[in-house]
């Protein structure tokens, strides 16, 4: 039997030990041997830090984002080859789609975030902080890529998504990764990494793969590294307490299996659409991935008067679940990842059933479609009932990591909230209700104990991604038993792999460093209008001082007639008593429109279009007789790649529009964006 290879130090290498035999979860056949014995972990970490780290840090966010997009497209073309391998882990076609397509989708999602980031290797974080009276001394925060390695220790249930959802974030941040997939399903992770390496898209050393034990690797970590862990809370706590983690203050992000719950609100009565949605959602979360999901519903919290209805409806649906070979089109639930997992889950069920009677379990008469039920790791869904949830607390403390869940009755929403919190922290909770008051009560009462809360009802059910699906642009994690960490979360995610550094200095210096204009910085006053410049020619701090205009009552009246805005403060000087105004005041949008009229260069040139307004503030009232002028300053440049051959090559320029009155005070400030043609395509 062949060994799974590890990709380290730029080559595919076999371990030097006996390794661990891996089995097909459906038929029990031997698949491969996983072994990492003999690998030099110190060298592997050094290789990533010295080879890939500098290469990634030299790349801008735009380049890294395009790299992720190219990789996502490359894997999309090859994803069909991963499905037959995934079936061997016990996953159905739908389960595999979540894992494979979901992982590739996360690459796409993070690639698209490049549009929110600058064309450089680091970025500003948050707003400018004034530190002096005359504004000659200011502060800001920068996010700079760490100079270490992201070590990802992943769970067995999602060997593709679990890997890609992590590396997409660290690669966008500019940090290389070493991936340690769970051994039992590492043969699927290996297949995907083989294609990633073969693509040549990533700088060498950006991704290394170790499929066996990494015992001893953490001894070689340092303070620039980051460790992420997904799996059991017991293992996570052990790793988190590693002396090296503590001595070097190494960031450790933990996402642990938790006792997630779903709450059926009182308004979702039996027979209602919301009730049916609830039954369908719980069934899906119990059977998807054979219940081997860190987000699966373990505790079903329902009104005590609905217990019989829920039990009958859910049991009927579970009884119809077709279990067997994932390659058969009629199969809806495959097998657990292996016989070891099956044994562990059945042991937990036996322990839990001492206090919470089983109300549905067909294991004794279980049949597997197109498979031998005795050779594979097949298991019937198990539904239990806890009649005394405040007394029989094992339901809130012990997890059977399979298609197992427990019905828990409650009297009122306060009790439901208390029960949800008895899990001591979860990745996700859901509440099925169409009553905003009930939803708000649950969210505010239980939110501190759950990393994510889904409010599900008929209005959103059709497009909802469901209780158990973490989304790339939302954080995935939770407090307490769930590990206390966060993954993904859009731009929030990159902060885990970057150092936030406070920087202080003059506005001019911070502008030069950040390549983003800071108010008060020196500018380059131009003799040629900046709208006559191509994208490459524009410099941060380029400034255009416009002609001036004296505002009249006729301007205000004409703008009101044109816009339809006849707000009393603009039109009726007799209605201003008790307001902050001393006379008819010009519309804020008139001031902004007039500012555009003053700073726009009308002739055809490199500016292709107005791309929008990011922010706008009206600072000071403008009355008839006041004179306004504009300072137009190039604030930031964002490179844009061509999407098709026919696209006009361009970039986005963000401008500060500072409208001042005759005293030199700002009356309005806005950030506008223009799409500007490049000189060279």
pLDDT per residue as tens digits for the range 122-144: 999 988 889 898 889 999 999 99
Task: Map tokens 């009755």 to a residue.
Answer: 409
Q: Does domain 261-469 have CATH number 3.40.50.280?
A: no
Could you report the per-residue pLDDT of 352-362, keeping only the tens digit for each? Answer: 999 999 999 99
pLDDT reading at 322 higher than 70: yes
pTM value surpassing 0.85: yes
**CA dist 407 → 82, 264, 363, 402, 446 (Å):** 37, 11, 19, 16, 19
pLDDT at 298: 95
| Phi, psi torsion values for 589, nearest 5 degrees | -75, -20
Could you report the per-residue pLDDT of 245-261, keeping only the tens digit for each? Answer: 999 999 999 988 889 99
Instruction: Kindly tell me the burial class for residue 17, based on how many C-beta atoms sit within 10 Å of its own C-beta (0-12, 13-18, 19 or more).
Output: middle
- Average pLDDT, rounded, for the chain: 92
Active site includes 255? Answer: yes
- In 382-427, DSSP assigns E strands to 382-385, 404-410
Instruction: Give the residue ranges of DSSP H helices in 41-157.
Output: 41-47, 53-58, 61-78, 83-87, 93-112
Cβ(144)–Cβ(87) below 8 Å? no
CATH topology of domain 6-257+492-499: Aldehyde Dehydrogenase; Chain A, domain 1 (3.40.605)
Query: Which letter, b or e, does each residue of 97-106 get, where b requires 16 or more Cβ atoms within 10 Å of its Cβ?
Result: ebbbbbbbbb
pLDDT reading at 642 higher than 80: no
Active site includes 294? Answer: yes
CA distance 157 to 448: 27
Angle ∠(293,308,281) on CA atoms, nearest 5: 30
Could you report the per-residue pLDDT of 264-295, keeping only the tens digit for each? Answer: 999 999 999 999 999 999 999 999 999 999 89
Give 509's Cβ-side CA count (13 Å radius): 10
Give 681's Cβ-side CA count (13 Å radius): 8
Q: Where are the domains of the chain?
A: 6-257+492-499, 261-469, 523-677
Catalytic residue among 14, 294, 399, 636: 294
Cβ(534)–Cβ(678) below 8 Å? yes
| Phi, psi torsion values for 495, nearest 5 degrees | -65, -25
Instruction: Give the model's confidence band at 1: pLDDT under 50 very low, under 70 low, under 90 confident, else very high.
Output: low
Catalytic residue among 14, 255, 281, 486: 255
The residue-averaged pLDDT of 32-59 equals 93
Cβ(507)–Cβ(135) below 8 Å? yes
pLDDT at 639: 84
Instruction: Give the model's confidence band at 681: pLDDT under 50 very low, under 70 low, under 90 confident, else very high.
Output: low
CATH topology of domain 523-677: Thiol Ester Dehydrase; Chain A (3.10.129)
The residue-averaged pLDDT of 157-180 equals 94
């Amino acid at each position: 039997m062949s060994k799974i290879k590890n990709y380290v130090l730029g080559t595919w290498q076999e371990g030097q030990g006996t390794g661990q035999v891996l089995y097909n979860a459906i038929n029990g056949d031997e698949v491969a041997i996983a072994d990492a014995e003999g690998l030099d972990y110190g060298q592997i970490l050094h290789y990533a830090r010295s080879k890939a780290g500098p290469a990634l840090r030299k790349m801008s966010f735009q380049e890294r984002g395009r790299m992720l997009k190219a990789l996502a497209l490359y894997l999309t073309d090859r994803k069909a080859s991963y499905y037959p391998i995934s079936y061997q882990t016990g996953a159905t076609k739908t389960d595999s789609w979540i894992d494979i397509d979901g992982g590739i989708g996360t690459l796409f999602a993070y690639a698209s975030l490049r549009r929110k980031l600058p064309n450089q290797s680091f970025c500003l974080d948050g707003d400018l902080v004034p530190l002096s009276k005359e504004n000659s001394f200011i502060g800001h925060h920068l996010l700079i890529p760490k100079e270490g390695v992201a070590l990802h220790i992943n769970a067995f249930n999602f060997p593709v998504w679990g890997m890609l959802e992590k590396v997409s974030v660290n690669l966008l941040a500019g940090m290389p990764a070493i991936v340690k997939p769970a051994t039992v399903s590492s043969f699927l992770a290996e297949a995907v990494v083989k294609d990633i390496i073969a693509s040549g898209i990533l700088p060498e050393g950006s991704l290394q793969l170790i499929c066996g034990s990494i015992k001893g690797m953490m001894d070689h970590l340092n303070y620039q590294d980051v460790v992420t862990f997904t799996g059991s809370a017991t293992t996570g706590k052990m790793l988190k307490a590693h002396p090296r983690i503590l001595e070097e203050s190494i960031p450790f992000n933990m996402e642990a299996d938790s006792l997630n719950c779903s709450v059926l609100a009182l308004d979702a009565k039996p027979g209602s659409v919301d009730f049916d949605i609830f039954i369908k959602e719980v069934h899906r979360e119990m059977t998807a991935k054979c219940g081997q999901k860190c987000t699966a519903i373990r505790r079903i919290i329902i009104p005590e008067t609905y217990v019989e209805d829920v039990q009958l409806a859910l049991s009927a649906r579970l009884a119809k679940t077709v279990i067997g070979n994932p390659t058969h089109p009629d199969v809806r639930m495959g097998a657990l990842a292996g016989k070891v997992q099956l044994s562990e889950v059945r042991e937990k069920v036996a322990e839990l059933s001492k206090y919470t009677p089983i109300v549905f379990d067909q294991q004794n008469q279980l049949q597997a479609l197109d498979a031998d039920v005795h050779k594979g790791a097949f298991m019937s869904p198990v539904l239990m009932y806890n009649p005394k949830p405040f007394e029989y607390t094992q339901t809130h403390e012990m997890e059977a990591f399979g298609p197992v869940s427990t019905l828990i009755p409650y009297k009122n929403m306060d009790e439901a909230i208390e029960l949800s919190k008895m899990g001591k922290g979860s990745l996700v909770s859901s509440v099925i209700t169409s009553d905003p008051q009930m939803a708000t009560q649950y969210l505010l009462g239980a939110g501190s104990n759950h990393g994510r809360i889904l409010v599900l009802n008929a209005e959103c059910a059709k497009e909802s991604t469901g209780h158990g699906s973490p989304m790339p642009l939302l954080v995935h994690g939770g407090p307490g038993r769930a590990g206390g960490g966060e993954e993904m979360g859009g731009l929030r995610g990159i902060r885990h792999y970057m150092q936030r550094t406070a920087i202080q200095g003059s506005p001019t210096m911070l502008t030069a460093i950040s390549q983003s204009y800071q108010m008060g910085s020196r500018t380059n006053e131009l003799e040629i209008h900046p709208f006559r410049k191509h994208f490459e020619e524009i410099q941060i701090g380029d400034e255009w001082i416009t002609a001036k205009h004296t505002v009249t009552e006729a301007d205000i009246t004409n703008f009101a007639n044109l816009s339809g805005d006849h707000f009393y403060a603009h039109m009726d000087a007799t209605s201003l008593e008790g307001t902050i105004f001393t006379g008819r005041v010009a519309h804020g949008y008139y001031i902004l429109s007039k500012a555009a009229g003053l700073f726009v260069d009308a002739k055809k040139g490199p500016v292709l279009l107005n791309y929008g307004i990011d922010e706008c503030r009206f600072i000071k009232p403008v009355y008839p007789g006041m004179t306004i002028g504009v300072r137009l300053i190039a604030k930031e440049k964002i490179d844009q790649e061509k999407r098709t051959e026919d696209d006009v090559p361009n970039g986005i320029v963000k401008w500060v529009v500072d409208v001042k009155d005759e005293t030199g005070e700002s009356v309005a400030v806005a950030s506008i964006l223009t799409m500007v043609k490049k000189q060279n395509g």
